[in-house]
């Protein structure tokens, strides 16, 4: 365990693009511990991605509803991914 490190805060070990790429893994609890720590850190310093995470969770909830209806075997379909990126773009331009 390490404490907060101001140098790490300044550098930002994870950028917004990387955040978007791994956000679903984070929600599914598939991230290695180190990557999860980077992700949590990014949430602390980036309001935009914090909002984005909320949107992704909502979108995945909708996607799961579709799966339960038997629409698709994947938890996250290609169209759902595209919707996520579109939501991200909107959140950044708001």
Question: Among 31, 49, 60, 76, which residue interacts with Zn ion (rule: CB under 5 A)?
Answer: 49
Total number of residues binding Zn ion (CB under 5 A)? 3
Q: CB of residue 66 vs Zn ion: minimum separation in angstroms? A: 28
Through-space distance between the first and last CA atoms of the chain, rounded to whole angstroms: 37
Stretch of residues binding Zn ion (CB under 5 A), selected from 28-36, 45-53, 61-69, 75-83: 45-53
CA 88, 90, 92, 94 torsion-angle sign? negative
Q: CB of residue 48 vs Zn ion: minimum separation in angstroms? A: 5
Question: Among 16, 35, 66, 83, which residue interacts with Zn ion (rule: CB under 5 A)?
Answer: 16
What CA–CA distances, in Å, run from 72 to 7, 18, 24, 47, 80? Answer: 44, 27, 17, 32, 11
- Asked if residue 46 binds Zn ion (CB under 5 A), the reply is yes
Q: CA-CA distance, 88 to 1, in Å (whole number)?
A: 32
Which residues in this chain contact Zn ion in the complex, by CB under 5 A? Answer: 16, 46, 49
């Amino acid at each position: 365990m390490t404490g907060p490190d101001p140098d790490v805060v300044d550098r930002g070990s994870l950028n917004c693009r990387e955040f978007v790429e791994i956000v679903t893994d984070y929600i599914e609890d598939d991230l290695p511990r180190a990557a999860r720590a980077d992700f949590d850190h990014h949430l602390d310093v980036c309001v935009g991605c914090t909002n984005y995470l909320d949107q992704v969770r909502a979108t995945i909830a909708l996607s799961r509803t579709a799966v339960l209806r038997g629409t698709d075997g994947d938890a996250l379909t290609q169209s759902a991914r595209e919707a996520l990126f579109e939501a991200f773009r909107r959140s950044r331009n708001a």
